[in-house]
Amino acid sequence: MATSWADSVAASEKVETQFSSEQAYQPRLARPTYVPPHLRSRPPSSGSPAPPSAATPAANDRGSYGGPPAGARSAGGFRPDVGRSGYVAAGGWNGRSGGWDRGRDREVNPFPDTDGTEQGLIEQENAVINFDAYEDIPVEATGDNVPPPANTFAEIDLGDALNLNIQRCKYVRPTPIQRHAIPISLAGRDLMACAQTGSGKTAAFCFPIISGIMYGQYVQRPRGRTAYPLALILSPTRELSIQIHEEARKFSYQTGVKVVVAYGGAPINQQLRELERGVDILVATPGRLVDMLERARVSLQMIKYLALDEADRMLDMGFEPQIRKIVEQMGMPTRGLRQTMLFSATFPKEIQRLASDFLSNYIYLTVGRVGSSTDLIVQRVEYVNESDKRSHLMDLLHAQRENGVHGKHALTLVFVETKRGADSLENWLYANGFPATSIHGDRSQQERELALRSFKSGRTPILVATDVAARGLDIPHVAHVVNFDLPNDIDDYVHRIGRTGRAGKTGLATAFFNENNSSLARPLAELMQEANQEVPVWLPRYASRSHGGGRNRRSGGSRFGGRDFRRESSFNRGTDYYGGGYNSTGHGISAGYGAYGVYGAGVTSAWE
DNA sequence: AAAAAAG
């Protein structure tokens, strides 16, 4: 099954016809009896009926992957190597061939090839993390009986299958967020976690979920057309859901835990068929999930784990009613009966308050400074009038080209405020000879995925984007983020610039500022100051021109991305809220400055 | 006010 719709859209018609008749009669290879998830990847002990389409190669592997011969399946089991050479020939190192082989119940190896070809080397380069940059990271955990952090994956011991996948991902040590969040999750605790962009949040919530599903005992799920996932991961954009699904598939490879993705803009039938074949972890955007819930094709009754990625966005004005409906009105077990984990790089107090409705006796965890890998990102602010923005951007791009930074692996991400603005800037850049594409909510899903892929691969090294691309997307080699139009919210700025400076690499963020952005002047100046960035002398002068600037100020203190709102509420008394490293039960693990070990060069870890 | 998310 293709991970992304655009990957398979060309082949989808073929698949539709091929399976439409099958759908009603043999929708899945049913498990007649309960099989523990960690045993599910074993070859079938008795001869299950051969799928009628076994002779047809996977139609969604972008043509050049012919797949193994039909007979390969009957050999049973999973073969990590199968399809590798075809994978490379397919050419896209970012285009995953996708999950489970339709009709064969055989799991396709989701790991990139690293056999010395160009693509392999790129992946290897990506995997090298600069860990030195993350040593002096402040950590704060508050709540009852906070489990202590773990220093190594071995210490965490997620089981053989998961450990193998950690190795395949070339993760050697857990990142700071993982060291703290994973033990908390494994202890069954609810969690609200605030960690730098690009610091490995996806793995932090995926590992405990997968492990929990593998080793947990669950009653057999009902058969039929309704899918009963055990875990639900929600994210605010389709592309982010696709990305989380891709990551989760790597982590769950050969564990027997099945991950399915559901998002809008793509044909729903294909996604429904995947669900029918069985799902343990469902990754979804809210709209499509609600659609499926209303069709009764998905039930949340068996949900044991709920994770909200970019949780503050999920609970902001636009999203909150929809999320509340999913979590509170669609049959999901109530808080306390499920485990809930909220992750984001930013967590405003008022959102924390909303979020606490979904949590039970949770631990609040903050790792890192002001919600960003700030030390790795050089931030610049330039005063540019609206009418000068285009020519100014062109100057920047020309300069990059002359400095040799404008290559296949030096990508530039340009953020604009509106969808129309994105279209028009893309066209203008293109007309002026710059290889640009764009992504925004008015483009078709096919176009969106195509644009992202074209950008990632370096074919169009300039991507003009609205905030649809501001959060969570992990795009290697983004060397420069340009805020052509600044956002109104400083948290959005944090997420945007977080598209660069990832995995320990350095990045540059340039913002075009003018009087229209006055409301951002103060929080931006403060943020830059905290990050040891050079603040232009003229920038704070605009702060006085904005009214109610306090509303946009960062919620946290200087060292942290945010604070546990419970510690500042009225029920808190005493004076040592900011005592640094104190938590309510005295099981202190917080404010560890470089206390968690030293990393050698070239050491890698799980990154977002 | 805009963007995102169902069709």
The helix-helix angle for A320-328 and A286-294 (nearest 10°) equals 40
Lowest mean pLDDT among A154-163, A180-189, A334-343, A564-573: A564-573
Listed residue (A402, A378, A568, A584) closest to A479, CA to CA: A378
Over residues A343-355, the mean pLDDT reads: 93
State yes or no: pLDDT of A414 exceeds 60.
Answer: yes
Looking at the C1' of nucleotide B3, which residue has the nearest alpha carbon?
A467
| pLDDT score, position A369 | 60
Confidence of residue A583 (pLDDT cuts 50, 70, 90): very low
Residues A558/A494, Cβ–Cβ less than 8 Å: no
User: Is A202:A290 a contact under the CB 8 Å cutoff?
Assistant: no
Q: Closest CA to B2 C1' — which residue?
A: A418
Q: Out of A40-44, A94-98, A118-122, A156-160, which region has the weakest mean confidence (pLDDT)?
A: A94-98
Of A27-41, A43-57, A345-359, give the lowest mean pLDDT range: A43-57
Structure confidence by residue, pLDDT tens digits, A289-306: 999 999 999 999 999 999
Q: How many whole angstroms separate alpha carbon A406 and alpha carbon A77?
A: 45
User: What pLDDT score does A374 carry?
Assistant: 60
Name, of A15-19, A411-415, A503-507, the range with top average pLDDT: A411-415
Average pLDDT of the residues in A140-160: 94
pLDDT attached to residue A199 = 81
Determine the angle formed by the axes of helices A238-251 and A445-457, rounding to 10 degrees.
60
> Which of A2, A479, A451, A500 minimizes the C-alpha distance to A261?
A2
pLDDT of residue A113: 64
Cα–Cα distance measured from residue A232 to residue A326, given in angstroms and rounded to the nearest whole number: 10
Pairwise CA distance, residues A574 & A435, whole Å:
59
Q: Residue A265 CA to B7 C1' — how many Å?
A: 9
- Checking if the pLDDT of A527 tops 80, the result is yes
d(CA A1, C1' B5) / Å:
24
Q: What number is the average pLDDT over the span A356-363?
A: 96
Amino acid A218: pLDDT: 81
Q: What is the pLDDT of residue A5?
A: 54
Mean pLDDT on A308-332 = 96
Q: How far is the CA of A466 from the C1' of B2 (A)?
A: 9
Contact present, A369 and A560 (Cβ < 8 Å) = yes
Query: What residue ranges in A362-435 does DSSP mark as E strands?
Result: 363-367, 377-383, 411-415
Q: How many Å does it take to go from CA A208 to C1' B2? A: 36
Residues 6+ apart with CB under 8 A from A408: A458, A461
What is the mean predicted confidence (pLDDT) over A511-526? Answer: 94
pLDDT at A90: 26
A537 CB contacts (<8 Å, ≥6 apart)? Answer: none
pLDDT at A178 exceeding the cut of 60: yes
pLDDT at position A4 is 54
Report chain A's mean pLDDT, rounded to a whole number.
76
Helix-, strand-, coil-residue percentages of chain A, each rounded to 5: 40, 15, 50
pLDDT at A137: 76
CA dihedral for A172, A369, A203, A408, sign (positive or negative):
negative
Query: Residue A236 CB closer than 7 angstroms to strand B?
Result: yes
Find the mean pLDDT for residues A106-126: 58
pLDDT tens readout for residues A126-149: 444 455 555 567 889 999 999 999
Residues 316-345/A with CB < 7 A to strand B: 316-319, 322
Banded pLDDT at A479 (limits 50, 70, 90): very high
Nearest by Cα to A425 from A386, A468, A382: A386
Which pLDDT value is given to residue A128?
46
Straight-line distance from CA A32 to C1' B2, in Å? 51
Identify the pLDDT of residue A148. Answer: 96
The alpha carbon dihedral of A44, A50, A54, A60 has a sign of: negative
Q: pLDDT at position A597, please?
A: 27
Query: Is A30's pLDDT higher than 60?
Result: no
| Range 413-442, chain A: CB under 7 Å to any strand B atom | 417-421, 440-442
- How far is the first Cα of chain A from the last one, in angstroms, to the nearest whole number? 23
Q: How far is the CA of A487 from the C1' of B1 (A)?
A: 11
CA angle A295–A4–A371, rounded 5-degree value: 95
The CA–C1' separation of A279 and B7, in angstroms, is 25
Residue A66: per-residue pLDDT: 28
What is the per-residue pLDDT for A292?
A: 97
How far in angstroms lies nucleotide B7's C1' from the CA of residue A266? 11
Instruction: Identify the burial level of A84 via C-beta atoms within 10 angstroms of its C-beta, where 0-12 means exposed, 13-18 middle and 19 or more buried.
Output: middle
Q: What is the pLDDT of residue A325?
A: 96
pLDDT over 90 at A509, yes or no: yes
Query: What was the pLDDT predicted at A217?
Result: 84
Chain A residues 356-385 within 7 Å (CB) of strand B: none
How many whole angstroms separate alpha carbon A268 and alpha carbon A275? Answer: 11
- The span from the CA of A181 to the CA of A201, in Å, is 9
Residue A236 predicted with pLDDT over 70: yes
A467 touches strand B (CB under 7 A): yes
pLDDT at A558: 37
pTM value surpassing 0.85: no
- Percentage of chain A exceeding pLDDT 70: 67
Among the residue ranges A92-96, A236-240, A365-369, the one predicted with the least confidence is A92-96
Whose C1' is closest to the CA of A321: which nucleotide? B5
Statement: the CB of A312 is under 7 Å from strand B: no
Nearest nucleotide to A439 (CA to C1') is B3
Q: pLDDT over 90 for what percent of chain A?
A: 58
Q: Give A358's pLDDT tier (boundaries 50, 70, 90).
A: very high
